[in-house]
């Protein structure tokens, strides 16, 4: 078993996740079986309760585990499906250690960070890698070297480096190489970061320098000299589209450096990723998509949606420009969303909901391609109920105590006192009605998609909704839960209760996003002809 640990220095948000995912892509292209593990030093058990303003989107894995968005990068780049065991948090580790202590498994020992917590960390990493039959285990440590939260994890990696045989463990350190006012690349932050790392007993084998521009040879030489690494192991990671990073790394010969240090053979390389990036660079047409949400000031809150639109755009043959619209603003202003498509993403809570409903109405009335996701699906039902079915007080019980809640908890959910226990999380089978738009998009009558929601379409109102032209073309749980809706007479009006963006990949885009972007491109072409 080979291990690659990825740490970060100087500041957070440098792109450790993209770096780790890109390394994984390089190795997958060479035919190696790679398993990624993300370490998040926060005490939370998972990311499910975290505010998107602080942490970006909550990504949902197939088993329903709510995790950091970096695991989405791993799935998209490496092309595998992960579960909760691929995400380690301080909360998870301490819970395991405390449970063992309560059961008496430590036989009366004083339970300490070393060896009990670090042993639990090492055991978790090795067990996951072994269970997945990986050839290479990729470990990303969240946060920045020097953070008090990450100390036990870095100590565990230090121990692993000693325990693993020579050539089985390498450390990649990601740092910032800023430009001063005169445009000179400054290496001092990297030097201090590596010094701090070495004080913990860890020595980088490879340094990845994040910079606005490509690292100069003189900069690489200086970093190599002061940080005690080979010049060939100082890798430039300048600003570019995230999907170009693996190719930039290949130009820097990072894959060759890794193979040499891990004593691995060079295998025949696949080129499908290069083909995707080439097509992305050659796009000539474009579409403007309005994304109406309440977290638009933090673009990472909708990261998977943004990437799914990009995947679909490359597949269809156009660049997708995301226009971010604050849904709260639409509650008090006149709605003018004359774009090529309107997308309403998921979310929770009352704030901005009426603005989203107005945006949905605008898309429906003006025959603009529309895609609703999760909360967007529910609000599409509310808007249609009010405007078309004339249910004056139609609403969701999440937002109002109205007597006409077309979106509501199912009876068994109302019996549950613990709010978190009413959530539907993870991959669930969805049955698709033949002859519908959903069936044409997916090309099958059954699909598995990932969910993260609590409320459902109220079964009492389904006959009235369908009687006025709304088609529920997908369902689950013995047709008790509606999953997909569409308006057949509309150019493209499509909404789903699940999150298709979580399963979209650069090499296999999500069908609803392909359909939506295709409709938006056709709509734009129509307008240009007039």
Clarify whether 192 is annotated catalytic.
no
Clarify whether 501 is annotated catalytic.
yes
Q: What is the DSSP string of 15-48?
A: -HHHHHHHHHHHHHHTT--EEEEEEE-SSSSSST
Q: Which of 252, 354, 486, 501 is catalytic?
A: 501
Give the residue from 527, 517, 529, 528 showing the smallest Cα distance to 287: 517
Q: Which of 374, 383, 405, 486 is catalytic?
A: 374
Q: Three-state SS across 339-362?
A: CCEEEECCCCCCCCHHHHHHHHHH
Phi then psi dihedrals of residue 241, to 5 deg: -65, 140
Task: For the chain, give the number of residues.
Answer: 530
Residue 317 vs residues 72, 76, 101, 278, 286: alpha-carbon distances, Å: 24, 19, 57, 12, 8
Three-class SS state of 458: coil
Half-sphere exposure of 131 (CA within 13 A, CB side): 12
Beta-ladder partners of 390: none
Clarify whether 227 is annotated catalytic.
no
Q: Which secondary structure element, helix H or strand E, spans residue 3, and what is its range?
A: strand 2-8
Cα 227 from Cα 47, distance rounded (Å): 35
Residue 266 vs residues 28, 66, 262, 269, 526: alpha-carbon distances, Å: 12, 36, 11, 9, 50
Q: Is the distance from CB of 290 to CB of 325 less than 8 angstroms? A: yes
Q: What angle in degrees, to the nearest 10, is found between the helix axes of 353-365 and 375-387?
A: 60
Q: Which of 55, 116, 315, 499 is catalytic?
A: 499
Active site residues: 374, 499, 501
């Amino acid at each position: 078993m080979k291990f690659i640990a990825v740490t970060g220095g100087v500041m957070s948000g440098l792109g450790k996740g993209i770096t780790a995912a890109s390394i994984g892509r390089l190795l997958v292209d060479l035919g190696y079986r790679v398993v990624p593990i993300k370490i998040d030093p926060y005490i939370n058990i998972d990311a499910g309760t975290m505010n998107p303003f602080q942490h970006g989107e909550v990504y949902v894995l197939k088993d329903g585990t709510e995790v950091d968005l970096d695991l989405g990068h791993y799935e998209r780049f490496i092309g595998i499906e992960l579960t909760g065991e691929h995400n380690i948090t301080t909360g998870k580790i301490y819970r395991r250690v405390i449970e063992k202590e309560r059961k008496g498994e430590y036989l009366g020992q004083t339970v300490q960070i070393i060896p009990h917590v670090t042993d639990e960390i090492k055991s978790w990493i090795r067990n996951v890698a072994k269970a997945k039959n990986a050839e290479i285990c990729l470990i990303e440590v969240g946060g920045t070297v020097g953070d008090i939260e990450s100390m036990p994890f870095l100590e565990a990696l230090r121990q692993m480096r000693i325990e693993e045989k020579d050539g089985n463990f390498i450390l990649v350190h990601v740092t910032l190489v800023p430009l001063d006012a005169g445009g000179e690349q400054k290496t001092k932050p990297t030097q201090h970061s590596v010094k701090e790392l070495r004080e913990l007993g860890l020595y980088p084998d490879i340094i990845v320098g994040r910079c606005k521009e490509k690292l100069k040879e003189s900069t690489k030489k200086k970093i190599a000299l002061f940080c005690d690494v080979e010049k060939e192991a100082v890798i430039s990671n300048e600003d570019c589209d995230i999907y170009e990073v693996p190719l930039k790394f290949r130009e820097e010969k990072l894959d060759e450096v890794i193979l040499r240090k891990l004593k691995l053979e060079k295998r025949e390389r696949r080129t499908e990723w290069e083909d995707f990036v080439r097509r992305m660079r050659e796009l000539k047409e474009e579409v403007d998509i309005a994304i109406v949400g309440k977290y638009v000031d933090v673009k990472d809150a909708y990261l998977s949606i943004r990437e799914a639109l990009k995947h679909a755009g490359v597949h269809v043959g156009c660049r997708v420009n995301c226009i971010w619209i604050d849904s709260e603003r639409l509650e008090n202003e006149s709605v003018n969303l004359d774009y090529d498509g309107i997308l309403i993403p998921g979310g929770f809570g009352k704030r901005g909901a009426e603005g989203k409903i107005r945006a949905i109405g605008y898309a429906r009335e003006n025959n603009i391609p529309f895609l609703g996701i999760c909360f967007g699906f529910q609000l599409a039902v509310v808007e249609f109920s009010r405007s078309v079915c004339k249910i004056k007080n139609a609403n969701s019980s999440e937002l109002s105590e109205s007597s006409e809640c077309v979106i509501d908890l199912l009876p068994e959910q109302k019996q549950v006192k613990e709010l978190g226990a009413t959530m539907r999380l993870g991959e669930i089978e969805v049955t698709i009605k033949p002859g519908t738009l959903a069936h044409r998009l997916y090309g099958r009558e059954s699909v598995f998609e990932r969910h993260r929601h609590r409320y459902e379409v109220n079964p009492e109102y389904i006959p009235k909704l369908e009687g006025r032209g709304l088609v529920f073309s997908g369902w689950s749980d013995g047709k008790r839960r509606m999953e997909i809706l569409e308006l057949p007479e509309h150019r493209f009006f499509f909404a789903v209760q699940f999150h298709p963006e979580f399963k979209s990949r650069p090499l296999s885009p999500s069908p609803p996003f392909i359909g939506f972007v295709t409709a938006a491109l056709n709509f734009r072409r129509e307008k240009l002809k007039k």
